[in-house]
Amino acid sequence: MKSFLRDLLYGVRLSRKNPGFTLIAVLSLAVGIGVNSTVFGFVNAILFKSITVTNSDNLVYVVTGNQSNPYRSTSYTNYLQIREQHDVFSGVAAYAAPPMLMTQGDQTLELNSEVVSGNYFSVLEVRMLRGQAFTTTDDQLLATEQTVVVSENFWKRRLNSNPDIVGTQLFLNGSSFSVVGITSGGFTGTDPSISTDLWVPMTQWANMVQKTPVAA
């Protein structure tokens, strides 16, 4: 402790003799602290922040791959096998985040979207603010109506908090989807660094992609 106080007093005497150097040192330290805080905040948001779901501490990600590519995407068939054959999880859901565009009048908006399995919201125990969530029925390949769930933030920001939004149509990637529900405000999707705007059943999205014409 005496050594620390002695060094501190020496630093004070030195700073009085050279105030210009002291100012540069203080500014450098301030910039360094600011940069470190920004980087830590960014890393914390991406790597350590948990998603806003019930009992998030017990949530795990299941990935497939090999040593050279351990985090590659899996197939829908593999997901079904994992879901049906596991005996260690309370539930298994699937998701992906492909590009999604919404057309409103003469405007086209790029959205943060996820395509998900029908049990996605029930596995994560996400509550709906309005309407209802997807169910396993939405996994049927021959669904007669394409459906979408939107976030509360997106409902307020882009849909003008329309109280009658459930049942209306959104035009996504060239196809019409019926809004069936609005998630509660705390849920922002599977990726904590991105605020998801809407969710579409995975099988319905696959059907939509197959029907999209490809230019020659």
Angstrom distance (rounded) from CA 201 to CA 64? 21
**Bridge pairing between strands 147-150 and 175-183:** parallel
In Å, how far are 8, 71, 191 from 98, measured between CA atoms?
57, 17, 13
Q: What is the mean pLDDT of residues 54-73?
A: 74
**Cα–Cα distance for residue pair 200/196, rounded to 1 Å:** 11
How confident is the model at residue 23, as a pLDDT?
Answer: 52
| Residue that has been written with the tokens 């319905």 in this structure | 204
Instruction: Locate the domains of the chain by residue range.
Output: 2-48, 93-211
Q: Which two tokens stand for residue 11?
A: 């630093």
- CA-based end-to-end distance of the chain: 78
Q: What is the pLDDT of residue 66?
A: 73
**Per-residue model confidence (pLDDT) at position 32:** 47
**Residue 68 neighbours by CB distance under 10 Å:** 6
| Phi, psi dihedral angles at 121 (to 5 degrees) | -70, -35
Q: What is the pLDDT of residue 13?
A: 54
Tokens for 110, please give them.
């790029």
pTM over 0.85: no
Please give the C-alpha separations between residue 69 and each of 64, 66, 93, 169, in angstroms, as whole numbers. Answer: 9, 5, 22, 40
Rounded mean pLDDT, 38-49: 44
Residue 111 pLDDT > 90, yes or no?
yes
Helix (H) or strand (E) holding 179: strand 175-183
Virtual torsion, Cα 160, 163, 168, 174, nearest 10 deg: 20
Give per-residue pLDDT as tens, 147-160.
999 999 999 999 99
Mean pLDDT of the chain: 77
Taking only the tens place, the pLDDT of each residue in 155-179 is 999 999 999 999 999 999 989 999 9
Q: 44 pLDDT exceeds 60?
A: no
Strands (E), 21-156: 95-96, 100-104, 107-111, 113-116, 128-131, 147-150
Token pair listed for 49: 């922040």
**pLDDT over 70 (residue 104):** yes
Residue 80 has pLDDT above 80, yes or no: yes
Give the C-alpha separation, 202 to 76, whole Å.
9
Closest CA to 204 of 76, 41, 36: 76
